[in-house]
Structure 1
Amino acid sequence: MPEGVPPEGLQRRWRDLVDRRLPQAARARPEWPVRLDHCFARILLDNACGGPWRESVAAPAWANMPAERLAFAIDLGEAVLSAKADLDLLNRRSLVWRGKGGFKGRGRPAPAPGSLTGDGFLLRRWIRADDAPFAGLNADPEVMRFFPSTKDRGESLIEARSLDRRFEVDGFGPWAVAVPGEGFVGFVGAMRLIRPMPFAGGEAVGSIVEIGWRLARSAQGRGLATRAARLALDDLSGRCLVPAVVAFTAACNAPSRRVMERLDMAFSEEFLHPSLLAGDPLQPHVLYRLTMPEPSAARDRVSRDRAPGNHRS
């Protein structure tokens, strides 16, 4: 939650944003796809929740949504008002999730395959059998030591659905990672950044793609994050034609920073994460960037990674 802003303050800001400011601004924006307060609320809440908001928040959303997520929705609305977020794009994402529309023509995402095969692991779409091990992963203090807190089972289920839904609207997303004999061990993959972020380019909602990972304790220290990320990046470059990605983490998260460096990502800048309070040791973050290789070069790199004896990571 933003520092110094109590929940009731966020609620007042939300009501003013969707009841007054956005409908008023729509009078001068004929290109906007919606005009009514409840439509603005639907778009912002769905994108903040990563799917139809009623599936994760009881009505009324403004009174029941966690403060951090409501702040996310408010930030998104402010980005729309300042022309840093494309309302039409956000609306189409919401409609796809609700089964009421889709992307057409050049805006249609490349369809994602059901899985990608790596050496000793599989990247695949999420299934309901992943719910229990994902909840266990998110409840492990060691796994979550660089996050603000662990997550309970309900929060994990909401996150799992949100992560998989990204494939529907972007054509890519965080893949579930499965290892023979172990099953689901976490996720690795890419996400389009929808929240405005305080680093160069991050203020333009939807323009930045992030690569990220979260693995169970049993799957760490084996080079799996690096190898799985390389496979995901190859698909992202070759099938989805994404030209560049970023990765970021708490400055104190040395293990993730090492993975970024093994992926040939270059340190870019430091920033303060907007959802963490001043003084929180996790608020200082570091940003890394990677310009994607040509698809053929990416395939050659992954082939080398799969060669026997070349799994150092």
Structure 2
Amino acid sequence: MSSLKVFLFLTITLLLSNWSEAQPPKKQDFSFEELYRQRTYRNFIGTKKLLIAKALHLPASTYWLVLAAVERTEDRELWSMDKADRTEAKIFVYEQQSKQIDEKLTEAINIKLGWDKYYEPLFCGGLGSLAEKDFKIVGNKITLTQFYAPATERSNCTVEILFRNGEVVVQKLGLEDTSLEAITAKERTLANQKALALLHAGKTHEAVLIWEDLYVEWKHGAFPKAGAVDEVLNNLGFAYWKLNMYPEAEKILLECKKNFPQRKSVYLNLADLYRDMKKKNEAVFHYQQFINMGVTELQKNYASKEIKKLQN
């Protein structure tokens, strides 16, 4: 071989060697057979019916997270139809280079996820409420979406597990209440916002119709505490005042004051109403109550000026 060919051969070999060394190690396929050799995993499964066995590689790490769910055998007579009540699940952290379950990391993650909890909303039914589709990779994270439904409360919980700064991090994204009461509260909030938009557009009568419906729901409907009831009452009383419907405004505003005495604006609205109804003493009294509640300087100046006018 000529010296030029030898030089080219050695150069190409060196380049290929350097390129190979620069590549990250290939992710190996996960072996459940290898995992089953681990005593911790084998003891958890035992003789119970295996419902889920799903492994995901935690992006940018050498870890695999394995979701294992089995059917609970304890206290069968106390089981409900709730999936979280009938299922026991756990996350195992498997390190692919050592081919071992990281016991400490496994324990720490499962404590944060409340794997042994079944009825605590903070943990959304523990890991027992997870379905296979709820354990997935999204971007550079593994996400767990749990659904919990004890009695009348329902919550959706999302947890993210990611590898950051050389550590496995578990972060909860909070709870979303999806109960019928929460849905009702959202619907009433949207209706209130629609009524406010109508009021600002000068369509006071249309706004009043919406607030009257919300008032009836508060008095006679289900979930009387759902939504910002104090705001609805205050807004309806204010709208009645704008329409010169003074008796109706007084009734609603006094009802708001009685049930929600900490709402500052209702005192100002009552003061303005009584001023226009020529009830000076009641007006002064409510302006002063409004000031005493700790208001802005601008609001204080307005109420003080109205008091002076009424006392002159």
TM-score (norm 2): 0.26
Based on CA coordinates, which of the two structures has the bigger radius of gyration? 2
Higher helix fraction: Structure 1 or Structure 2? 2
TM-score (norm 1): 0.26
